[in-house]
Amino acid sequence: MVRKPRVVVTDLDQPSLAEEEAVSAAEGFELVRAECRTEDDVIRAGEGADALIVQYAPITREVFKALPHLKVVARYGVGVDTVDLEAATDSGVAVCNVPDYGTEDVSDHAIALALSLARGVVGLDREMRSGNYSLAPVQPLHRVAGRIFGVVGLGLIGAATARKARGVGYETIGFDPVFEPGTTTPGGTAVVSFDDLIRRADVISLHVPLNAHTRHLINADVLAAMKPGAILVNTCRGGVVDTEALVEALRSGGIRAAGLDVFEQEPLPKDSPLFALPNTVLTPHAAWYSEESQVELKRRTAQNVADVLAGRKLRNIVNPEVLA
């Protein structure tokens, strides 16, 4: 009897595997759910696995060494910073993601964070609930129309965020190493240098992957170069921002406010100084979520696995050199 391929879901913070099970039934692989938090957990749960589906569990070089049957690691989401890509490639294991499932959802969330801070919505709500019927705590506020919205990273999500920012009246500028400063993107965003964007933008929204080049991209020097009234929005990866430097800039008035959906440590520790700052809006890595995006993400992640196991052409592979 031919053995069914074994696919292990290492971790998932949702109760249902309905979408994954539907793909499993159609494609004929065995689906096993685990609750892994550590490297050792993954090695134990993944014994004999042909594929891993991963949310947050660490997929390290030791994992690849211990699981020689692995053909693919598929991550729920865009970022793959929890997977050792070099080790995966050395082991001949394909790594897949789903880069475009949450474009509308994440860009919606980025705009929501920006506008809630630009218009003082959360601060005013907080004051009203404490009995203070006054504009004073959030003054001065400025009209959005004519203000500059800077987008760092002009991929699918960054481009969608820029489009929506223009829709509410912002002028948009953007930086991405793929685009030449002085040009304009197909969507109508003026491309500038990183330094120029940091210096000019009233709102700065981050949409880059986390890697060696972008870790702490927003550091003390960059924060010091921003306008004192600038708003920082981060819906990409927590490690792109130096949290300690950001806290200091927010406390000192170096920048006006920050809307953060992602953090260097998740969940955000209860003693994080970010909680005590009145000029922050914090959400729990929720930008990706809608009922529609959740279904799409789970189905497409499982389909990535099925396509690798069946030898089909892959749409979303992070290390295509393993197929050479």
Residue with tokens 């890697």: 211
- Tell me if 278 sits within 8 A of 123, measured CB to CB: yes
34-81 pLDDT, tens per residue? Answer: 999 999 999 999 999 999 999 999 999 999 999 999 999 999 998 898
Alpha helices per DSSP H over the chain: 18-27, 39-45, 61-66, 85-90, 103-118, 121-129, 156-167, 194-200, 220-225, 243-252, 291-309
164-208 pLDDT, tens per residue? Answer: 999 999 999 999 999 999 999 999 999 999 999 999 999 999 999
Looking at the DSSP bridge assignments, the partners of residue 190 are 173, 184
- Lowest-confidence segment of 1-10, 21-30, 219-228, 297-306 by average pLDDT: 1-10
* Alpha-carbon Rg for the chain in angstroms: 21
- In angstroms, rounded to a whole number, what is the distance separating the alpha carbons of residues 142 and 184? 27
Which option is the CATH number for 103-282: 3.40.50.10470, 3.40.50.720, 1.20.1090.10, 3.40.50.300? 3.40.50.720
- Is the overall model pTM greater than 0.95, yes or no? no
- Tell me if 153 sits within 8 A of 207, measured CB to CB: yes
DSSP string, 24-86: HHHHT-EEEE----SHHHHHHHTTT-SEEEESS--B-HHHHHH-TT--EEEESSS--TTB-HH
* Residue-level pLDDT at 235: 98
* Tokens representing residue 121 in the block: 């919505």
CA atoms within 13 A on the CB side of 291: 0
- In angstroms, rounded to a whole number, what is the distance separating the alpha carbons of residues 211 and 318? 13
76-106 pLDDT, tens per residue? Answer: 998 898 999 999 999 999 999 999 899 999 9
Residue with tokens 């020097």: 221
- In angstroms, rounded to a whole number, what is the distance separating the alpha carbons of residues 6 and 15? 20
Of 86, 99, 34, 35, the closest CA to residue 60 belongs to 86
Mean pLDDT (whole number) for 213-241: 98
CA-to-CA dists, residue 245 to 177, 217, 250, 283, angstroms? 24, 11, 9, 20
Q: What is the helix, strand, coil percentage profile of the chain, to 5? A: 40, 15, 45
Fold agreement (6-101+290-323, 103-282) = yes
* Residue-level pLDDT at 324: 77
The two beta strands, 190-191 and 171-175, are parallel
* Residue-level pLDDT at 323: 86
265: burial class by Cβ within 10 Å (0-12, 13-18, 19+)? exposed
- Tell me if 203 sits within 8 A of 209, measured CB to CB: no
The two beta strands, 94-96 and 148-152, are unpaired
117-176 pLDDT, tens per residue? Answer: 999 999 999 999 999 999 999 999 999 999 999 999 999 999 999 999 999 999 999 999
Type of residue at 46? G
- pLDDT(315) > 90: no
Percent of the chain clearing pLDDT 70 (strictly above): 100
Of 38, 101, 46, the closest CA to residue 302 belongs to 101
Looking at the annotation, which residues are catalytic? Answer: 237, 266, 285
Measured between alpha carbons, how far apart are the two ends of the chain, in Å?
31
CA atoms within 13 A on the CB side of 244: 1
- Tell me if 264 sits within 8 A of 238, measured CB to CB: yes
- In angstroms, rounded to a whole number, what is the distance separating the alpha carbons of residues 136 and 270? 29
- pLDDT(1) > 80: no
Q: Where are the domains of the chain?
A: 6-101+290-323, 103-282
6-101+290-323 is classed CATH 3.40.50.300: no
Mean pLDDT of the chain, nearest integer: 97
